[in-house]
Structure 1
Amino acid sequence: MWRNYLTVGLRSLMKNRTYAFINILGLAIGMAACLMILLFVRYELSYDNWLPKAANVYQVQTWFKNPDTGEDSYGQMTTYTSQVALRKDFPQIVSSVYVLSSEPVFYKDGQATSTENYRYVDGDLLDTIPLPLVAGSKDALKQVGGAILSESEAVKRFGTTNVVGKTFTVISKGKMRDFRVTGVFKDIPKNSSFAASAIARIDFQSFFATEPDFLTCWGCNSGWVYVRTKNGTDINTIQSQMKAWEKRNIPDQNVGEARFNAGDYGDWHLINMRDVHLGKAQDASMTPGNDKTSIITFAVIALLILGMAVVNFTNLSTARASQRAREVALRKVLGATRQQLIVQFIGESVIVTFLSMVIALAIVELAMPAFSAFLDADMRVSYFGQGGIMLPVLLLVAVVGILGGLYPAFFISRFQPASVLRANKSSAETPGSGRLRQVLVVGQFAVSIGLIICTGVIYAQTVYARTVDPGYKRDHIIQVGELSRYQLLDKGEMIAERARRVPGVEAVGRTSIGIATDNNNNTGVMLPGKKDPVNIGFYQVDTGFLDAMGLRLLAGRWFDDKRPLDDASLPFPPDDNAQRNLAQRGANIVINELAAQRLGYKHPADVVGKTFRAAIVKDEFGLVPVTVVGVVKDSRFRSIKQPLDPIMFINQRAGGGGQTHMIVRFKGDPEAVRRGLEQMWRGITTEVPFNAKYSDDIIGKLYKAEDARAQTFAAFALLSVVVGCLGLFGLAAFTADRRTKEIGIRKVMGARTRDIVRLLVWQFTRPVIIANLIAWPVAWWVMRDWLNKFDDRIALGPTPFLAAGLLALVIAVGTIAAHAVKIASANPIRALRYE
């Protein structure tokens, strides 16, 4: 019996090659897209699952609420002192470690090279985060001065992974520091929220000897704290006690008559390491994260595309039911039961699904390397073992085969032999109104139109993010880093002055904010008559920054080195006398529009000349009187997703160590200017590598992840359209065949070819019009929420909706027009001669 079913099924496919091709190809594309998206979703959900004891490892995060605006912000970093307080108050925590991001200069054979993802720790990181070692012991970080390298870093620096016992030298804070390699760990996979190429244990007390406040400061978030809890610990119990913990441990800071408490602005949260990647807090300085909404969206798209492919199968199976009506009737006459027929047709559906799955797996194998590289992921296709997809694949074949064949099986098996086989009864006249097929076509195109709309909106927002006026002249800028290295603290002015002499350089400025840097510094500004301070961004610049960045002055003036109060330079390390003098004499500042508004002034000119008091020196010296001498246009130095910062600039001509980057505005050949700057740099120092990037490259990297996801979304939206068109083409072909006699009679009665074409085209464009009415409100709701994640966004106008609807209509007409013309042009005698 089963052999007979298989033979009949294969013969049916061979007899209807067009139907077989459309069904198998459509299902293959749908299942391939579904598998690739679900592999991506599984990859995103797998972050840090590779880590032993990950269930007990937590990252301590600090979440903030802006008291002036109520806006929430989420940070993965926290303070050094919070680790000590957590260990003291919560015995459930058995180990902890503070991880400091560092990019020391690697010094070997007189050559200085840059480093990436080097981490300094204050304790045994391996006791908290048990990274798998390939060499050395678990005690590798028990002693200060020990360091472990990743396999790749070991090969890069020493040419081999056999490096235990060797010594390497880095320059950090202007000092050469030697570390002994005590272990080598496996390269951390990309699906990890923790990144490191080298981890070195240091003595934080001596490392921050010149900045002792760092070790006790509750407002200095410059590193990550990880803790490991006992087995069975209820983290919710700890979290419920965090408010009380903050009140017990965070002291008030009195600056003059102002009172500050870090607990009023931030809350501390323990987030399991496996939840960091998709959590609220995203920190690109460790590894780029993602959000749950995006993952859920991709999973829904995968199921929708698969659903469209199943709908195609159902549509085409019911549409061609008339061609198998006599077969069913004869089988019933010969004794076949309805249950046997249902099993036969579901079996045929499973065969088609299996053939489609073979093609789908071939597509996935071919496309996955490129797909993985495009998303900068490490996704692989394996069939057996941990992470194997063989079982899901077989399950998918069974589910899709049964679901796709269930309705057609019940529909076809209900034909009555007497009705089908009676005299002069055409096989084309078998029952079925086609209403379900119309509904399914509407659903298919609603999905396709919705995805096209979303793709259009995402693309428009991505373009907008790259091209919107950021408040400064973004082109023709080279941003040079490493300026805050200890070796260069007293050379900033000299570097800037020599950079101005490089041919092609138009302006040079130094700054502590720069384009898309991770630098984030805030301070409190006291307003007359108010008790609580206003939180304002606080950044150091020099007089050349205005022209180099291309800022626009709206009121007042910029800094002038000839005016003593314009210069707020401080030595580094901080000198008490210098800070005391600055607090007594005050300083001039320049602010942006948003800062003027936060200070209570609607018009920029109104705030010029006003004096406030700000916390820009040590607490014991009180608040510094600061006078606003200028207001510049708001500038977006960070991602368009982040809110604009209210900013206060101070001018530090020398010392301080606050200026981390140099902005160089140039004209002419970019590479020639860059080479000139590099030559100038190497003439000043050989201990600090030259690190320069074009502004266009920085912005491109800033939105790289969003661009990749948007293009991936667009690719799968296109696949959904292809699947929908395949189904529409097949349905149009079978429907036209079913209406052959009707078309012949219409032509005999005088209908013209264009009348017939219009009739057929209208039949299949009407569902597209209805699909638009369904897709538009759903897409508007989804895209409205997505756009609300951006601080600056495009308006959600009618253009993408109308364009998507028109595109879908054109695609539908183009899909069926050629076939409709062919049918309408046929000689009616061929359609009616059997009558």
Structure 2
Amino acid sequence: MLQNILKIAFRNFWKSKNISIINILGLSLGISICLIIALLVKNELGYDRHFPNAERIYRVTSDLVFGGNAMKMTFVPAPMADALLEEIPEVEAAVHFRNQGTFLIKRHEENIKESKIIYAGKDFLKVFDIPLMQGKKEGALDEPNTMLISQTMADKFFKGENAVGQSLVLDNELVFKITAVYRDIPENSHFDFHVLLSAEGLPEAKSGQWMGNNFQTYILVSPGADKIEMERKIATMTEKHLLPVLKQIMGEDFNLEVFKASGNKAEYTLMPLLDIHLHSDLVGEFKANFSITYVYLFTAIAVFILLIACINFMNLATAKSSNRAKEVGVRKSMGSGRSDLIFQFMTETFLMSIISFILAVIIASFLLPFFNDLAGRNLAMPFDSLTFYSSLLLGSILVGLIAGIYPSLFLSGFKPAKVLKGDISNGMKSATVRSSLVVFQFSISIILISCTIGLFSQMNFILNRNLGFNKDQIIMVHDLYALGDQKQAFKQEVLNNSLIEKGTLSGFLPVSGTNRSDMPWWVLGRDIQDQENFVSIQNWRVDFDYIETLGMKIIQGRDFSMDFPSDSSAVIINASALKKFNFDGDPIGQKIASFTGDNVSGVSKDQFKTKTVIGVVENFHFESLKENIGAVLMYIDPNPSGIASFKFKSQDVEEVLQYIEGKWRELAPGQPFTYDFLDDRFASMYAAEAKIGKIFAVFTGIAIFIACLGLFALAAFTAEQRKKEIGIRKALGASVSTLVLLLSKEFTKLVFISLIIGIPIAWWGMKSWLENYQYRIELSWGIFFIAAMMVLVIAWSVMGYQSLKAANTNPIDSLKSE
């Protein structure tokens, strides 16, 4: 019996081979995209799960409001880690990290620049139990000037040797001894450092300063520990340590309740390690995280693409009902029951599903390298996993059921007496279902196209918005510390070239990944015990040419000038800071003050510094456009470091680079020359969104292609079903254009219904997504008009081709049997 069923299935396949091939191709492509998305989702959901006891690891995060500024950060005070370990019984181990940027590392003479390097507390291996390749875990980071390195770093510097006990030199002067080599941290981790320096030798790590937030802190808690209860204890602990500091600053009559009532707060909460990658987008993330929203979005796209492919199958199967009606009638007359017919049709569907899954794996394997390049991932087909094959089998069964259940029930329901007389009125019912499914397909298409256009419009808006500074044709040369006391000489040498217009030395730049420093200031003379007088503000150290090099606009006062020696104690503020300070009268010439004090002893109300405001610059974006522009003040740094930025006018970028590199080699021989461009660094702030946009566009194109495959086959089949009608109309004088309009009218109506359904949903989706940005495009009907035109043009092209082909058929060929 099974042999007979398979024989009939292959005969039906061959009889309608063009439509069958389209069916299998669409289904295979849909399944292949689902496979790729499933690999992506599995990868994103698997972040940090490789750490032992991952479910017991938490990161401490801060939610601060002070001086009118609100900040949600991964940074907490330096003494937080030790205090948690000592005062919260549930905490078994605590480690803090301090990222101080890139380092130059060498074993002998030649330096290598390394960015994946960080200071870590001595409990690192207790919290993150990473396997060691060499060395011992006990006391690995207990001593100052010790370090752990990854297997990759060991292979780079000590290939074939035992690295433990040997040393590396950082920034030409700091010598660190290697105590252990650990296995590379997997890519699907929210951090993947290659070098861990002992924080025991970092003075800042020993600070008792509870007013500064510079360290990321993680804790390992005991099994069964209650997160809410621990957060309550942390709040009590924080108040205990902060209150004396605040009283020292504000005076003994400082009232914490009044402080909170003014809208200020300093709250520290716990975020589970396993939530960080998909649920966190705080200031100070180790690297850009993904979002659970995108996981849901791509999962939905995978389901929609698969449904569209299944809908194609259902549409074509029911549309071919007239071709198989007599077969059903004969089979029922010969004694076949409905269950037998359902089994026949479901077997055919399962056969096509299995073939489609096999082809899908081949297609996905071919497409995966391209997707990895697009998404910045390193996904691979798990051919060595038994779960993978069992999932494919279950998937083929599920897809077979989804795609085949309705056509099987529909085809097996024909009444033999009617169909053998040529009455197939049930086809009217199937036409309604087919129409509904076509509407569903194109509703999804219009939603995907509209959202893709909106996403790219927002990215274009970001990259071309007036940022308040000039990001074009500015080269950033990094690691100025390698120049020693030759920084100013390097700047002047570069500026001697006529191709270079301006230059500045500062590590503080309006793009992510550069220096940041936040401190409270107040207008001199105002009561510092009144918290409303404080302004939490970014403090940027710059040189005299900073504002002119970056093309910032002075709107009040003047720029820094070497002609005014007093500018060593002057500041320039941005418009946001001007508003927050709320000066009495003209701000130019007024003095502002802030506390002083080192990182160990803290701050005191008796120790403060003053600066004079000499200018106000127009607001400029220095964080993501998802954030409002914060307050910034700039002052002259007598010993600039970090980055040299040069504005050049030549279109020959290579010539400029060769010149600057030549001067670097002269003044810093043996030191690596590293650079990038300010506009590229700005664009990289939105690299994640740009990748999402490209992936979204590709998936949208595939979804539309699959939908059009079904429409193409359905239009062809409809034309075939109406060929005699077309022949008669043409014999009676109907024109080609009239016939094309007749055949296209029904599908055009369905596409218009899809637009009515899809556009409101797309508008709501885009509106919700754009709310993440403080600066965003306005949703105009132009976006949806373009999307509608694209869908109509695509649909008309598909339908028009088939309609034109049918209308040009010689009526003699379709009527010769009558």
* TM-score, length of structure 2 as denominator length: 0.92
- Helix, strand or coil for the counterpart of 1:558? coil
**2:615 corresponds to:** 630
Query: Which residue of 638, 642, 651 maps to 1:660?
Result: 642
* Per-residue Cα deviation, 1:35-94 (whole angstroms, up to 9, x for no partner): 11121111111101122221122222223346626x5x4322322211111112211111
- Helix, strand or coil for the counterpart of 2:84? helix
* Per-residue Cα deviation, 1:478-521 (whole angstroms, up to 9, x for no partner): 12232367x74x55444433443345222121224213334222
Cα gap change, 1:278 to 1:65, in 2 (>3 Å)? farther
The reply on whether 1:117 has 2:116 as its aligned counterpart is yes
**1:268 corresponds to:** 268
User: C-alpha separation between the residues in 1 aligned to 2:597 and 2:613?
Assistant: 18
8 Å contact kept, 2:122–2:139 = no
User: C-alpha separation between the residues in 2 aligned to 1:384 and 1:229?
Assistant: 36
**2:575 corresponds to:** 593
User: C-alpha separation between the residues in 2 aligned to 1:338 and 1:606?
Assistant: 90
* Per-residue Cα deviation, 1:608-630 (whole angstroms, up to 9, x for no partner): 33333334666335443433221
Cα gap change, 1:672 to 1:648, in 2 (>3 Å)? same
* Per-residue Cα deviation, 1:633-690 (whole angstroms, up to 9, x for no partner): 11123332333222111122x14x6x53222112223333333333433444458644
User: C-alpha separation between the residues in 2 aligned to 1:760 and 1:66?
Assistant: 68
The reply on whether 1:362 has 2:362 as its aligned counterpart is yes
* Per-residue Cα deviation, 1:271-325 (whole angstroms, up to 9, x for no partner): 2222111122346762221111111111111111111111111111111111100
8 Å contact kept, 2:319–2:430 = no
User: C-alpha separation between the residues in 2 aligned to 1:67 and 1:567?
Assistant: 26
- Helix, strand or coil for the counterpart of 2:279? coil
**1:497 corresponds to:** 492
8 Å contact kept, 1:67–1:265 = no
User: C-alpha separation between the residues in 2 aligned to 1:375 and 1:278?
Assistant: 16
Amino acid at match of 1:716: F
> 1:19-418 residue pairs with structure 2 within 5 A?
19-65=19-65, 68=68, 71=70, 73-102=71-100, 103-139=102-138, 141=140, 143-144=142-143, 145-160=145-160, 162-171=161-170, 175-179=173-177, 181-204=178-201, 207-208=202-203, 215-251=207-243, 252-253=245-246, 254-255=248-249, 264-282=264-282, 286-385=286-385, 388-418=387-417
Cα gap change, 1:433 to 1:193, in 2 (>3 Å)? closer
**2:594 corresponds to:** 614
User: C-alpha separation between the residues in 1 aligned to 2:789 and 2:447?
Assistant: 13
User: C-alpha separation between the residues in 2 aligned to 1:185 and 1:171?
Assistant: 19
Cα gap change, 1:708 to 1:358, in 2 (>3 Å)? same
Moved more, 126-135 or 686-695: 686-695
8 Å contact kept, 2:522–2:581 = no
Cα gap change, 1:555 to 1:348, in 2 (>3 Å)? same
8 Å contact kept, 1:510–1:541 = yes
Amino acid at match of 1:718: G
* Per-residue Cα deviation, 1:414-467 (whole angstroms, up to 9, x for no partner): 111110112xx3779955351111111111001011101111111111122222
- Helix, strand or coil for the counterpart of 2:304? helix
**2:703 corresponds to:** 720
User: C-alpha separation between the residues in 1 aligned to 2:156 and 2:517?
Assistant: 35
8 Å contact kept, 1:465–1:640 = yes
User: C-alpha separation between the residues in 1 aligned to 2:463 and 2:327?
Assistant: 62
Query: Which residue of 678, 682, 686 maps to 1:695?
Result: 678
Cα gap change, 1:682 to 1:740, in 2 (>3 Å)? closer
**2:504 corresponds to:** 509
**1:549 corresponds to:** 550
8 Å contact kept, 2:74–2:284 = no
User: C-alpha separation between the residues in 1 aligned to 2:254 and 2:574?
Assistant: 25
User: C-alpha separation between the residues in 2 aligned to 1:407 and 1:673?
Assistant: 68
Per-residue deviation at 1:531? 3.7
User: C-alpha separation between the residues in 2 aligned to 1:421 and 1:122?
Assistant: 84
User: C-alpha separation between the residues in 2 aligned to 1:318 and 1:702?
Assistant: 50
RMSD: 2.6
Amino acid at match of 1:56: R
8 Å contact kept, 2:111–2:672 = yes
User: C-alpha separation between the residues in 2 aligned to 1:432 and 1:834?
Assistant: 29
User: C-alpha separation between the residues in 1 aligned to 2:810 and 2:200?
Assistant: 93
* Per-residue Cα deviation, 1:159-185 (whole angstroms, up to 9, x for no partner): 23x42334122235x743231x33222
8 Å contact kept, 2:88–2:230 = yes
User: C-alpha separation between the residues in 1 aligned to 2:187 and 2:66?
Assistant: 33
* Per-residue Cα deviation, 1:11-42 (whole angstroms, up to 9, x for no partner): 11111011101110110111111111121111
- Helix, strand or coil for the counterpart of 1:188? coil
Per-residue deviation at 1:99? 2.0
- Helix, strand or coil for the counterpart of 1:203? helix
User: C-alpha separation between the residues in 2 aligned to 1:429 and 1:265?
Assistant: 69
User: C-alpha separation between the residues in 2 aligned to 1:80 and 1:23?
Assistant: 62
Moved more, 286-295 or 633-642: 633-642
User: C-alpha separation between the residues in 1 aligned to 2:162 and 2:767?
Assistant: 54
User: C-alpha separation between the residues in 2 aligned to 1:428 and 1:634?
Assistant: 71
User: C-alpha separation between the residues in 2 aligned to 1:447 and 1:551?
Assistant: 45
User: C-alpha separation between the residues in 2 aligned to 1:682 and 1:820?
Assistant: 70
Moved more, 241-250 or 349-358: 241-250
- Helix, strand or coil for the counterpart of 2:125? helix
Amino acid at match of 2:300: V
**1:742 corresponds to:** 725
8 Å contact kept, 2:67–2:520 = no
Structure 2 unaligned blocks of 5 or more: none
Moved more, 409-418 or 742-751: 742-751
Cα gap change, 1:185 to 1:350, in 2 (>3 Å)? same
- Helix, strand or coil for the counterpart of 2:75? coil
User: C-alpha separation between the residues in 2 aligned to 1:409 and 1:150?
Assistant: 59
Moved more, 437-446 or 521-530: 521-530
Moved more, 24-33 or 588-597: 588-597
User: C-alpha separation between the residues in 2 aligned to 1:223 and 1:291?
Assistant: 24
User: C-alpha separation between the residues in 2 aligned to 1:278 and 1:523?
Assistant: 30
- Helix, strand or coil for the counterpart of 2:625? coil
8 Å contact kept, 2:574–2:616 = yes
Query: Which residue of 433, 442, 447 maps to 2:444?
Result: 447
8 Å contact kept, 1:81–1:218 = yes
Cα gap change, 1:765 to 1:502, in 2 (>3 Å)? same
**2:14 corresponds to:** 14
8 Å contact kept, 1:644–1:791 = no
* Per-residue Cα deviation, 1:542-593 (whole angstroms, up to 9, x for no partner): 111112111111121011223233103xxxxxxxxxxxxxxxxxxx221112
- Helix, strand or coil for the counterpart of 1:18? helix
Query: Which residue of 780, 783, 789 maps to 2:766?
Result: 783
User: C-alpha separation between the residues in 2 aligned to 1:672 and 1:817?
Assistant: 55
Cα gap change, 1:431 to 1:560, in 2 (>3 Å)? closer
Moved more, 256-265 or 118-127: 256-265
User: C-alpha separation between the residues in 2 aligned to 1:138 and 1:255?
Assistant: 42
Identity across aligned pairs (percent)? 28
User: C-alpha separation between the residues in 1 aligned to 2:728 and 2:233?
Assistant: 82
**1:798 corresponds to:** 781
Query: Which residue of 601, 623, 627 maps to 1:642?
Result: 627
Amino acid at match of 1:777: P
Per-residue deviation at 1:247? 1.3
8 Å contact kept, 1:121–1:201 = yes
Per-residue deviation at 1:141? 1.0
Moved more, 241-250 or 448-457: 241-250
